[in-house]
Amino acid sequence: MTIPLVKNKQFVYEILGVRKAEKECRYFIGNPQLVGAYSNLYMHDNSEIERNCFILAKDKIEIGVNTTLAYGATVLTGADPNGPKNRLSDLYPPLKAPVIIGNDCWIGANAIILPGVTIGDCCVVAAGSVVTKNVPSGVLVAGNPAVIKKHLNI
Ligand SMILES: CC(C)(COP(=O)(O)OP(=O)(O)OC[C@H]1O[C@@H](n2cnc3c(N)ncnc32)[C@H](O)[C@@H]1OP(=O)(O)O)[C@@H](O)C(=O)NCCC(=O)NCCS
């Protein structure tokens, strides 16, 4: 479901089920397309999901303190090649796995984060990258598949 873009609509998302990770917690959610349960989405303080993101919330998703998902980024927590009738389903049974993104991260526009990935603190995911594996803290990853391009001096 896509919520129309209105200002200060945190309360709308909380009615839908989005969780505040801290008691005193302000966050921003643009107008993502979200499939699954809003209650799987844990927003930490000052985190944001910018406009036109796609969020597959079949399992837990955490967006860390001060972390931003830039425009059009995708977070996937599930995979299923169209149920048991599909011949690939023996090879690729339905999967659900959380995505955890740490604090102070910058997930670039149109990046894709695959199910089960954990991203550490202070990471940059370059625009358009596809993150297939866990990312340690303090690095910039880029490309498809995303690889470490540099260690950030912070
Ligand atoms: C990652 C980014 C911040 C650049 O950071 P940087 O520290 O200046 O990185 P550099 O330009 O030095 O690039 C480092 C390496 O990553 C590569 N790289 C950078 N951005 C990349 C991208 N989007 N896709 C693939 N590779 C990329 C560079 O080619 C370079 O590779 P090399 O070392 O093999 O030559 C920038 O490219 C980016 O993606 N910004 C996101 C912009 C965005 O999403 N804006 C939306 C609004 S917030």
What is the tens place of the pLDDT at every residue in 60-108?
999 999 999 999 999 999 999 988 899 999 999 999 999 999 999 999 9
Task: Write out the residue range of the structural domain in which residue 118 sits.
Answer: 17-151
Q: For residue 11, is it within any domain?
A: no
Q: How confident is the model at residue 1 (pLDDT cuts 50, 70, 90)?
A: low
User: Which CATH number goes with the domain that contains 50?
Assistant: 2.160.10.10
Residue nearest to atom 7 of ligand 1 (CA): 140
Residue 104 lies in a domain: yes
State how many domains the chain has: 1
User: What are the C-alpha distances in Å from 106 to residues 1, 10, 75, 86?
Assistant: 25, 21, 14, 37
Q: How confident is the model at residue 6 (pLDDT cuts 50, 70, 90)?
A: low
10 in any annotated domain? no
pTM for this entry = 0.95
Higher-pLDDT residue of 154, 135 = 135
Does the Cβ of 109 fall within 6 Å of ligand 1? yes
Task: Determine if ligand 1 sits within 6 Å of the CB of residue 116.
Answer: no
Give per-residue pLDDT as tens, 11-62.
999 999 999 999 989 999 998 999 999 999 999 999 999 999 999 999 999 9
- Ligand 1 mutation pick, 48, 69, 140, 151, max ligand atoms within 8 A of CB: 140
